[in-house]
Amino acid sequence: MRAVIVAAAVAFIISLLGTPVAIRVFTALKAGQPIRSIGLASNQGKKGTPTMGGVVFIVATVFAYVAGHIALTTLPERQIAQEGPTMTALVLLGLFVFCGAVGFFDDFLKVRQRNSDGLSAKGKLLGQAIVSAGFGIAALYVPSTNGQTVASEHISLIRDISWLDVGKVGAVMVIVFVITAMSNGVNLTDGLDGLATGASILVLGAYALIGFWQYRHWCADDAYGRVNDYCYQVRDPLEIAIIAAAAAAACVGFLWWNTSPARIFMGDVGALGLGGLIGGLAVVTRTTLLSIMIGGLFVIITTTWVIQIVSFRTTGRRVFRMVPLHHHFELAGWSEVNIVVRFWIVAGVCVAVGLGLFYSDFLAVIG
């Protein structure tokens, strides 16, 4: 627990103090957020607000992990700490950084061209697919000394589903889909001040709890795993908890400046990075299908976007006034703050249900 707290505290402080520095830097560089001319008139006032703020909480998370890992190596031997970073940490942080890099390139093009086009949809998807495939290959083909890999060849719900073995190639394809879908889900959600940031805090906090719970009931822990048959077959769960907690705390520090009226936007660098990390956390904790509930708000917003596109292209009719979904409610007369808070409530309910399902599985096994 000490390592998790240290990482969270360091991430929060770096993000809280680093974001105003980023605001001044990006303002000086004239890295303002372009706003679509066909968008809502109420959003035109946000034009020029500095973007790419996600760089701050990505950097904060990486530094916080280092601090947390240093604290981890001072724990007693039974805690199974190691000197260097684990493969789990490397693939998760790599996923966070490189998904963010795809978003950074998109943001850079928007700022340079002074429009909201940026990277093409195909280019963005290709970048996400390459990064997530690299993550999947490293997670499945690089085992630890005991032969355990970061990811599994099975589809998972709360644990691996034994009869859903899709093989390594199939598992990589599933991983690419999960990470790409979650990355785009967070990106679609990032349309109002603080909306995606607050929802991500809730989801990342849930994965910090899941990672720590798995660590406390870890099969690799000699004091627990050898005498219990309901332990969790995951790799480096405490490292997972450290990274998830650090990312959540870094987003809290960023939210101080990102809440309405936002002084800085996370940009695609932040949205794609956060979505990629959340998808990666689902894979490494063996909760791939459960992530549909835990990240329920992102799933809802993505699903409604798909419904709108399919309906318009097949029938010429729109189901919603505008997508993503939060803009539908803006056109319905809801204020921005009301939408954000209510969507946070939806995200919180989804997270609570997801954690409840996770814990109920544990109760069912030991019962």
User: Which sequence spans correspond to the domains of the chain?
Assistant: 1-366
**187 annotated binding-site participant:** yes
The least confident of 136-145, 185-194, 342-351 is 136-145
Q: How far is CA 118 from CA 30, 51, 124, 187, in A?
A: 16, 13, 9, 14
Q: What is the mean pLDDT of residues 65-74?
A: 83
Q: Could you tell me whether strands 154-156 and 160-165 are parallel, antiparallel, or unpaired per DSSP bridges?
A: antiparallel
- Is the pLDDT assigned to residue 65 strictly greater than 90? yes
Spell out where the chain has E strands: 154-156, 160-165
**pLDDT value at position 145?**
58
**pLDDT value at position 40?**
61
Q: How many CB atoms lie within 10 A of CB 217?
A: 18
Burial class, 324, CB count within 10 angstroms (exposed 0-12 / middle 13-18 / buried 19+):
buried
C-alpha torsion 330→332→337→341, nearest 10: -110
| C-alpha span between 286 and 187 (Å, rounded) | 24
- Chain-wide mean pLDDT for the chain? 89
- Is the pLDDT assigned to residue 18 strictly greater than 80? yes
Q: What is the mean pLDDT of residues 262-277?
A: 95
**pLDDT value at position 72?**
72
pLDDT digits (tens, 9 = 90+) for 220-243: 766 665 556 678 889 989 999 999
**268 annotated binding-site participant:** yes
**pLDDT value at position 71?**
80
